[in-house]
A = this chain, B = another copy of it.
Amino acid sequence: MITVSTSNEAYHHGNLRDALLAAGLSALEGAEGKAPSLRELARAVGVSPTAVYRHFPDKHALDKALALEGLQLLGQEQAEAAAKVGGGSAGFAETGRAYVRFALAHPALFRLMFTQGEPIEHAGHADPARELLTANTRALAGDPEKAETLALQAWSIAHGLAMLMLDGRIPADDALIERMLDTRSLFPQSG
């Protein structure tokens, strides 16, 4: 999704925006990642702070672009995880585990993804993680209203668990994730 030129110069043509996003993601990724400042990213890319404003109206826009990248990544990892167990009800449960694993693996990025005020929207096509969720629940529950409730409940519990673990309220323990996201005990009406 991001392409950076190999030439060390010529930022003067086209790729500053992507270079900034790449620098931002690499600052955010990893368990020790933290939200980078605008000036920090400009430095990392070898450009003056104000150059950033040629590509983003303000810091918030930069953050939103980074959040969008994060959402794509999350959706991707979830889809892969679900595919690995063969989809269906097991795949649904797996997307939940992948969600929490993603949050724990990229805490700063995950936080950024959800702190941007409005939900992020790529021009036209929406959040892939969310699309996956609604597709899964529609397949599991017959009634569409039941499906939506199930989707939001599943999302809430995964998100809450992720947040509470990130915030140090609940030990970030793999076995605990397993126990908490047991769909059979949680949502007995489905699957």
Contacts and interface: CB of A to CB of B under 8 A. Distances in A.
A152 B156 CA distance: 13
B180 A189 contact: no
A117 B168 contact: yes
Interface string A147-191: 001001101111111111001111000001001100001111100
For the residues of A in contact with B, the DSSP-based class is: helix
A160 B163 CA distance: 7
Contacts of A186: 153, 186-187
Given A179-B149, A186-B186, A164 B169 contact: no
A143 interface: no
A188 to B, nearest CB: 6
Interface of A: 114-119, 149, 152-153, 155-164, 167-170, 176, 179-180, 185-189
Given A160-B161, A163-B163, 13 more contacts: A118-B168, A149-B180, A152-B170, A155-B170, A156-B156, A156-B160, A156-B161, A156-B164, A157-B157, A158-B160, A159-B164, A160-B160, A186-B186
